Amino acid sequence: MTETSLWWIDWTLNGRTMRRESAVRLLLLFIAASGFLVMLLSGGVDRFLAGQWSVTALLAPSVSEEEGRGIAAKIADLPGVAAAEYHTPEAAWKEFIAAFPGLDSIRTASGNPLPGYVEIRLRRDRLTQETLGKLESALKPLPQIEKVLAGGTWMPRVLGLKRWVNAFLWSALGFLGLLLFTVFAVQERSRAVRLSGDFAFLVGRGIAPRGIAWRRAATAALVGGLSSLVALAAAAALLFRLDTRFSWFRKAVGPWEDLLTPALLPGPVLFCLLAALATGAASRMAWRAAVSPRP
């Protein structure tokens, strides 16, 4: 393409404004990309909740350590289970004393009163009442498992609240996206109005108005897609930095390397596509604000 190609008409005629607008868009896209990546990794409060809360399957006193490990391995294979770890009775006792020091007197002459147990953590994307119910149904009939502790009556409320909080967070992200589109549309409109005389010049010299409009929209979409790619890269770099530096961040949001898994990779791709579409659509909509040539 030459310097005066119609594809880059806005950059040719109004380069300074384009650079300024692009800087603003890049910043806004970076904020949106950061929020998007955090939500993608964490699922809202899912990651935090899944990390904090676990289901405990108390084993019968007759279950040996070997048997306990075997049960834990089988539980880990159940759908919706992220990890299942067997704790020996002795380990359980140490944990109890650590939590309640000074109560070691309850250990009788017959030995450790506490049984071994399996600590079960659910996958953050399967932390639902349904998954919980299925797990309980699978574990309770087993003779080796004496009791399943799953949060009692308050867990369903917590899970219900989790859904609302997640909906709010995703809506906030959606609102940010809408705000971005509005900013793009306002920028495109004001630029189109400012360049309307130049468009009239070109239309008056035989350039089809539709041709100008679609070329501008296509270039806007291309630049929008590339900008979103840069913004995503910057957001991922920030995520990496925070993830490796602050353990609480990693616990709440999740490991940054999960972004590279096949399950989450479509997310950033979709972000770029949406950003490209939004900028292209904003440009096309703003074209109507540009004055057609008048006699």
Query: Minimum CB separation from other proteins for residue 276, in Å?
Result: 24
User: Closer to other proteins at the Cβ: 17 or 144?
Assistant: 17
Going by C-beta distance under 8 Å and a sequence separation of 6 or more, which residues neighbour residue 124? 42, 43, 46, 47, 49, 50, 51, 82, 254
User: Closer to other proteins at the Cβ: 187 or 228?
Assistant: 187
User: Closer to other proteins at the Cβ: 173 or 202?
Assistant: 202
SS3 of 114-168: the string is CCCEEEEEECHHHCCHHHHHHHHHHHCCCCCEEEEECCCCHHHHHHHHHHHHHHH
Query: Minimum CB separation from other proteins for residue 200, in Å?
Result: 4
Query: Minimum CB separation from other proteins for residue 223, in Å?
Result: 18
Strands 55-59 and 145-149, bridge-based pairing: antiparallel
Query: Minimum CB separation from other proteins for residue 246, in Å?
Result: 47
User: Closer to other proteins at the Cβ: 33 or 220?
Assistant: 220
- One-letter amino acid identity for 248? W
> Where on the chain is the footprint of other proteins (CB under 8 A)?
1-6, 9, 12-14, 17, 194-208, 291, 293-295
Distance CA 55, CA 120 (A): 5
For 259, the 3-state DSSP assignment is helix
User: Closer to other proteins at the Cβ: 46 or 188?
Assistant: 188
Query: Minimum CB separation from other proteins for residue 175, in Å?
Result: 33
User: Closer to other proteins at the Cβ: 84 or 195?
Assistant: 195
- The angle formed by the CA atoms of residues 134, 136 and 138, to the nearest 5 degrees, is 70
Query: Minimum CB separation from other proteins for residue 125, in Å?
Result: 51
